[in-house]
Amino acid sequence: MNKYQRQAVVFSLLGAAFIAGGMGMKDYVTFSPLIGWLFGLFCQIIALLSAIKWNRDERGSTN
């Protein structure tokens, strides 16, 4: 498994976990859904960038 591929998988799972955790903690922490969604979005963006880098690594750079 490539470094970028591993990062994409890990950050995708972390993003989903942050969203679920934020929604699950909404009765205990005031702004937990907002915090969970923001961290989840951040992790998903990092996962997307890692997947793009992995794709470029696999196909080779054309530029």
| 14: its two tokens | 């972390």
Classify the C-alpha dihedral 42-47-50-52 as positive or negative. negative
CA distance 21 to 19: 5
Query: Residue 35: which of 52, 50, 18 has the closest Cα?
Result: 18
The model's pLDDT over 5-50, given as tens digits with 9 standing for 90+, comes to 999 999 999 999 999 999 999 999 999 999 999 999 999 999 999 9
Output the DSSP codes for 10-42: HHHHHHHHHHHHHHHTTTTSTTHHHHHHHHHHH
**pTM, full prediction:** 0.84
